Amino acid sequence: MSSGRVRTRRAALGLALTVAAATALTGCSALGSDSSNASSNGGGLEKSKIKVSIMPTTDLGPFWLAQDGGYFKAEGLEVEQIVAKSGQESMQKAISGEADIALSTYTPFFVAKSKGAADISLVADGTSVNAKSNAIVTVPNSTVKTINDLAGKRIAITAMNTASDILTKSVMKDHGVDFSTVKWTLIPLPNMAAALKDNQVDAAYMPEPMLTQAAKTVGATPVIDINTGASQDFPLTGYGAATKWVQANPKTLAAFQRAMKKATSDAINDRSKVEPLLVKYAKIDEDTAKLLTLPGYGSVLDARRLQRVPDLLLQMGVITSKVDAAPMIAPQATS
């Protein structure tokens, strides 16, 4: 074999080895990139285990789907849920540090901001009012027959300055009914149907699944749907966290947001994914899960939409000065 051919073969072999080495390095780099992504979704998080305060209502459909469907796990998150009796209590768990993130109706978040009681950031959307998803209800033996009968009556709500309080007042105001004489009675959601049956209250604000459950167990009937007037399509619930927690845990927050965004999209597109979770976590039967009206699910926060909440609170006299929603929104994960 000529020396020229030998040199050519050696050069070709050298090039092949170089390409192979580069390919191997690229492969390692690619694996490293995947590993890095896994790390950013797991080991790279500031906290891989978080606690989320919730209330067992249909608002939690996407959250439970993210939990049971492995969406949180795929992001490297292990999520523990803590049950609260009201949105106010849920928010307090985030403020105190008992929970990292809290689901609440939006009103307590804005009231706390207005009063300087806590520095809260809104981290993910939850739900909006849908037709027949929230209502003021009564029972057949109550003296309340129409919304005009609510003046001076005993109305069950979960807590003052929550959606149950503010939206009930808003609907009454829209219909010219004086709510200043109402005897507001604070009752946990699971106990409202019994309170109606036992004549402890004349009416109650209920979201699903309590609405459908109460209809089946005590014959509860709607006095008026909340999805009317100033409260139509109203931003109802969302997830909040102490601003200091948000600033200290940006990767963990982004992981939570990504999981919730995917779960919310799947919940909207396929109701059948949510119904079994309502049976499991909200403790309702399968028939109720199929019958009830789901709220309007969302995950990404929009400042203009959210501004409706503090604006209504100001209009209702719950807060005394305007609160801007935009600065309260935490950075949103883009993917």
Count of positions (residues) in the chain = 335
Indicate the pairing of strand 203-207 with strand 134-138. Answer: antiparallel
Yes or no: say if 263 and 65 are a contact pair by the CB < 8 Å rule: yes
Residue 22 is encoded by which pair of tokens?
A: 């580069």
Alpha carbon distance 169, 163 (integer Å): 10
Indicate the pairing of strand 203-207 with strand 154-157. Answer: parallel
For 30-175, strand residue ranges (E) read: 49-54, 78-83, 101-105, 120-128, 134-138, 154-157
Backbone torsion region of residue 130, taken as left when φ is above 0, otherwise alpha when ψ lies between -120 and 50, otherwise beta: beta
Backbone angles phi, psi at 301, to 5 degrees: -85, 135
Query: SS3 of 224, please?
Result: strand
The architecture of the domain spanning 134-231 is: 3-Layer(aba) Sandwich (3.40)
The architecture of the domain spanning 49-128+234-328 is: 3-Layer(aba) Sandwich (3.40)
Alpha carbon distance 174, 315 (integer Å): 12
Alpha carbon distance 78, 317 (integer Å): 41
Yes or no: say if 126 and 192 are a contact pair by the CB < 8 Å rule: no
pLDDT value, residue 27: 34
Distances 210 to 59, 82, 235, 259, 273 between C-alpha atoms, Å: 12, 19, 19, 27, 20
pTM of the model: 0.79
Alpha carbon distance 249, 96 (integer Å): 17
Residues 6+ apart with CB under 8 A from 166: 107, 312, 313, 316, 318
**What per-residue string of b and e applies to 18-55 under the rule 16 or more CB within 10 Å gives b?**
eeeeeeeeeeeeeeeeeeeeeeebbeebebbebbbbbb
Q: What is the pLDDT along the chain (335 residues), one digit of tens a residue?
A: 444 444 444 444 444 434 333 333 333 333 333 333 333 444 599 999 999 999 888 899 999 999 999 999 999 999 999 999 888 899 999 999 999 999 999 999 999 999 999 999 999 999 999 999 899 999 999 999 999 999 999 999 998 888 899 999 999 999 999 999 999 999 998 899 999 999 999 999 999 888 998 999 999 999 999 999 889 999 999 999 999 999 999 999 999 999 999 999 999 999 999 999 999 998 888 988 998 889 999 988 999 999 999 999 999 999 999 999 999 999 999 86
Alpha carbon distance 36, 4 (integer Å): 47
Backbone angles phi, psi at 252, to 5 degrees: -65, -45
Alpha carbon distance 151, 91 (integer Å): 30
Fill in the amino acid letter for 276.
P
Q: In the chain, where does the domain assigned CATH 3.40.190.10 lie?
A: 49-128+234-328, 134-231
First to last CA, the chain: 59
Residue with tokens 């809290």: 102
Alpha carbon distance 33, 177 (integer Å): 62
Yes or no: say if 57 and 209 are a contact pair by the CB < 8 Å rule: yes
pLDDT value, residue 86: 85
